[in-house]
Amino acid sequence: MSGATTISRRRQNAARYVRIWAGILLAAIFLFPVFWMILSSFKLPRDIFTTPPVLFFDPTLETYISYIQRADISKRMINTVIVATGSGLLSIIAGSMAGYALARVRIKGAATFGVLILMSRGVPPIALAVPMFLVARKLGLTDLHITLILAYCTFLIPYVMWLMRGFFVGLPKELEESAMLDGCSRFGAFFKVIAPISIPGILSTLIFSIILAWEELLFALVLTNRNASTIPVAIAGIAGDTVTGANWGALTAVGTMTVIPVVIFALLVQKWLIKGLADGATKG
Amino acid sequence: MVVPADTIKKGNEGVGPSRPRGYSNLADFASRWSFMMPAIIILMAVLAYPIFYTIQISFANLDLASFTATEWVGWENYQAILMDRGFKNSMKVTGIYLAWAMPIQMILGFGIAYLINAEWKGRAIVRALFLIPMVVAPVVAGGIWRMMLDPLWGLVNYLLGLIGMGNPDWLGNSTLAMATIIVIDTWRWTPFVVLIATAALMALPREVFEAADIDGANWWTKLWSITLPLLAPIIAATFVVRWLGAVKMFDIALASTSGGPGDATNVVNLYIYEQAFRSLRFAESAAMAVIVLVLTMILTGIFLLGTRKLENMY
């Protein structure tokens, strides 16, 4: 009897090691393309276009320097920051308030709006991009930051609303009840009591919204051309350049510059992000 | 919007006893609705209005000089796109992509999560690392993979050559190009499924498994009669979330294959984009967008209902 249990325990231990090493190996495989991109961004063209591909070489910042100096990349970087934070902030305010309304403030008819807004997550962006382009063109609003910011609200507000609704539902009701007994208005209760204690949830949702806006391509392609153009548009241009051929140095350098800030942000709030993803899936 | 509610309240103090109730009801109503208002106003302007405008253009001729709809043409645009071979092809291509990518990602995601589900010190780090591919911008993902899959200088073909697998032309062959965008999409999205699945596995009640162990159930029985039924609602919900993302497939195809070779990977969003902004066929592309919109909404509705059913079953 005791022999059998030690064998099964040993087997369990072996299985545990297999699981752990499988996890590490799979994480490494999934990370490899990012690693390869970062590595290649420090290569000179002669180290990129070579067989066999090299792992060790003289690292250089040349690609970065020559690319950052080009005005359109740094300007696009600034545009991307403006548009991503702008749309993130606007959506977090409008989306949190709506999420709170759906979670706590009983309003007749609001649930219908909630469902409609939720349904809008299924709307293909191309069905919005065509009319937005036409309207923006007619009103002279193309190539402005604010146009892109508003366009990003179409997918960010529904997303924020749903995540924050789930968050507010989990808060104890006594919080705003006591605040309102103390003479706070409904707004006061929300902004002075609920919002402050929800900072972690609000912040991680905000960061995730900024990431989503940061990476958006379709609206940026359609609604901007020079003034407000963003980094993803530049990358699409470099990647799809069939005339001058593959400019992989530029692709990897700009790609790395795009990905690194997002990865840092994501890792900073990873605990909340994973929880938000799981909640977003199970409750949305 | 705070101001009117407050001023109405202040006004109450001076008036007679019968009217305040009506006023404060109104104030109450306004203060409740004003929470929804910012979202509703913005979404009306940038979401609802464009959708109606798309529908309007899809039934009209568009004047390219003024970018306005000129005359009502009824179903003409719809008839034109039903004859359009490129549109039919793009629907087919999107269908193939969805039919492969979604099951692969779901199975791989839940499978990996099940495989690596062990408690140890580095678990949180591994989970954090899985977060990285999914925050890589899709257009960057398409670009990196395009580089790695290059037949001449790419790393993948070099490695395949080492093990004698030849030199496949990933982006030049229709079938392989489709496989390429499925692989890129799977690379980017499987970690997302893994993270959700891991969270779900960790939340499973431990007592049930301990009871099953005492009853002498083997791992296969445990997987089929405990784990999977308990996970069913989450699997369904993850499927819906993944579906909502996958139908929007655009960036990866644009950056890696640009729809090619020929039209082999020209997914519907990319096709409509090209028709609208390269060929300037705005009215027809509006009609295509409406068809895609209606189909997506119907399928999303069906999937959501299915999810609800599953949730109620278990």
Give pLDDT tens digits for B38-79: 999 999 999 999 999 999 989 988 877 777 777 888 888 898
What is the C-alpha separation between B138 and B256, in angstroms, rounded?
Answer: 10
Which of A22, A125, A150 has its CB closest to that of B248?
A125
- What mean pLDDT value characterizes chain B? 85
Among the residue ranges A9-13, B97-101, B144-148, the one predicted with the least confidence is A9-13
Question: Which A positions 133-192 lie with beta carbon below 8 A of chain B?
Answer: 133-135, 137-138, 150-151, 153-154, 157-158, 161, 185-187, 190
pLDDT at B300 over 80: yes
Band (pLDDT 50/70/90 cuts) for residue A2 is low
Residue A144 falls inside a structural domain: yes
* Interface predicted TM-score (ipTM): 0.88
Which 237-276 residues of chain B touch chain A by CB within 8 A? 237-238, 240-241, 244, 247-248, 250-251, 254-256, 258, 269, 272-273, 276
Alpha-carbon span B314 to B311, nearest angstrom? 6
The 10s digit of each residue's pLDDT in A210-268 is 999 999 999 999 999 888 899 999 888 888 776 566 688 888 999 999 999 999 988 88
Q: Which CATH number belongs to the domain containing residue A132 in this structure?
A: 1.10.3720.10
Under CATH, which number does the domain B79-313 receive?
1.10.3720.10
Contact between chains at B276 and A133 (C-beta distance less than 8 A): yes
Across the interface, do A20 and B116 touch by the CB < 8 Å criterion?
Answer: yes
**Contact status, residue B53 vs residue A131, Cβ threshold 8 Å:** yes
Q: Which band of pLDDT confidence, cut at 50, 70 and 90, is reported for residue A281?
A: low
Q: How confident is residue A280, by pLDDT bands cut at 50, 70 and 90?
A: low
Residue A9 has pLDDT above 60, yes or no: yes
Residue A226 lies in a domain: yes
| Structural domain for A35, as ranges | 2-41
* Mean pLDDT, rounded, of chain A: 85
pLDDT higher for A69 or B170? B170
Q: Which of A17, A29, A30 to mutate: most B Cβ within 10 Å?
A: A30
Q: Which residue of A has its CA nearest to B54?
A: A131
Contact at CB, A126 and B199, closer than 8 angstroms: no
Q: Where are the domains of chain B?
A: 2-48, 79-313
B239-264 mean pLDDT: 89
Same structural domain for residues A131 and A6?
A: no
- Give the pLDDT confidence score for residue B9 in this predicted structure: 41
- Nearest chain B residue to A220 by CA distance is B251
Cross-chain residue pair B46–A128, CB shorter than 8 Å: yes
- Tokens, residue A114: 């909630």
Best B28, B31, B46 member to test A by mutation, with max A CBs in 10 Å, is: B46
Q: Give mean pLDDT, residues B189-217.
A: 87
User: pLDDT by residue (tens digit) across A160-188?
Assistant: 998 888 888 888 888 878 888 887 788 88
Does residue A64 belong to any structural domain of this protein? Answer: no
- The number of residues making up chain A comes to 284
pLDDT higher than threshold 90 for residue B180: yes
- B216 sits in the region (left: phi over 0; alpha: psi -120 to 50; else beta) called left
pLDDT at A242: 63
Distance CA B8, CA B13 (A): 9
When pLDDT is cut at 50, 70 and 90, the band that residue B12 belongs to is very low
- Note whether A182 and A244 are same-domain residues: yes
Dig out the tokens for A8 from the structure: 């099964």
Question: Which of B112, B195, B289 comes nearest A277 by C-beta?
Answer: B195
Q: Report yes or no: B217 at the A interface, CB cutoff 8 Å.
A: no
Residue contact B132–A130, C-beta within 8 A: no
Residue B70, φ and ψ in degrees, nearest 5: -100, -65
Chain B residues closer than 8 Å to A267 by CB: 128, 131
3-state secondary structure (DSSP) of residue A224? coil
When divided into structural domains, chain A yields a total of: 2
Identify the weakest region by mean pLDDT among A33-47, A55-69, A77-91, B207-221.
A55-69
CA distance A210 to A159: 12
What pLDDT, on a 0 to 100 scale, did the predictor assign at position B133?
93
Q: How confident is the model at residue A113 (pLDDT cuts 50, 70, 90)?
A: confident
Mark whether A89 and A191 lie in a shared domain.
Answer: yes
Chain Cα centroid distance, residue B225: 30
Choice between B251 and A46, residue whose per-residue pLDDT is larger:
B251
Give dist(CA B178, CA B97) in Å, integer: 7
Residue A179 corresponds to which amino acid?
Answer: A
> Model confidence at B140, in pLDDT bands (50, 70, 90)?
very high
